[in-house]
Amino acid sequence: MLMLEGPYSSRGDGSESGNPLQQAQGEAQPAIEVDALTFSYPDGRKALDGVSLTIREREKVALVGPNGAGKSTLLLHLNGILKGQGVVKIMGSEVGDGNLGLIRSQVGLVFQHPDDQLFSPTVLEDVAFGPLHMKLDEEEVRGRVKWALAQVGMAGFENRVSHHLSLGEKKRIAIATVLAMQPGILALDEPSGDLDPRARRGLIRLLRALPQTILVATHDMRLVKELLPRTVILDEGKVVVDGSTEELLEHTELLEKHGLEAP
């Protein structure tokens, strides 16, 4: 794996360089720890091949690479939807069958296509779904729905029909569905895909303001440049680069080698 020098460069095992900025970041606790994770689909295709990665609390990290690199597969391991060989820890707890409820309350996974996440008749019911399954009382659930919609700029949309909204609005509602569970980590799969310029700018402003640890799988290198200080390149199921976004974007040949374009 190529290591780029810079304040966010780090080894997959979580060890740190001597950079003082990195040492300051290192004071935060690990939010996501992945150690030697390997996963193959039933058809035999290996999607992840010994992935090791540490992301600390409040970091905002890009996960980039060509189609089929394993980005979405990695995200699906963070809350136990998929289970491979190796270790995945969330806030220090290893992901396993016995604690999936806890893990899924800590990791808010936002799918690439919001229609995969929005299935209730109204926005209120979609955003309330997670808190209701946390067995919160009605007053608390309604409070969380109101708060989450306000966070994504969708206050007052409670009685709207989710599937009648624009794509940008749907993506905001999808984010609200996970914010309502108040997770410490957000994992987003291609959040800016198919958005018009206004909706895309609004999404960037939203994600920049959120305090959670954020991992974004994306091909949108402009979003990476504007929002995510650290970038991990995944290719053929392996972490090949992990370092400072600013420095990585100067390596155009490296980006092209892994199916990416500088913004």
Assess if residue 262 is contained within a domain.
Answer: no
Assess if residue 67 is contained within a domain.
Answer: yes
Assess if residue 48 is contained within a domain.
Answer: yes
Assess if residue 190 is contained within a domain.
Answer: yes
Q: What domain range is 169 assigned to?
A: 2-257
Start-to-end Cα distance in the chain = 23
Residue 94: in which H helix or E strand, if any?
Answer: strand 93-94
Dihedral angle at the C-alpha atoms of 212, 217, 218, 223, nearest 10 degrees?
20
Span 199-217, mean pLDDT?
92
**Tell me, what CATH number does 94's domain have?**
3.40.50.300
CA 147 to CA 28: how far, in whole Å?
A: 27
As for how many domains the chain has, the answer is: 1
Helix residue ranges per DSSP H, the chain: 20-26, 71-77, 100-106, 123-133, 138-151, 167-179, 197-209, 221-227, 245-248, 252-257
CA 48 to CA 21: how far, in whole Å?
A: 30
Indicate if the pLDDT at residue 110 is higher than 50: yes
Residue type, 21: L
Tens-place pLDDT, residues 41-89: 999 999 999 999 999 999 999 999 999 999 999 999 999 999 999 999 9
- What is the value of pTM for the model shown? 0.87
85-90 sheet: strands from edge to edge:
46-56, 30-40, 85-90, 93-94
Tens-place pLDDT, residues 29-41: 999 999 999 999 9
CA 169 to CA 203: how far, in whole Å?
A: 10
Indicate if the pLDDT at residue 108 is higher than 70: yes
Assess if residue 263 is contained within a domain.
Answer: no
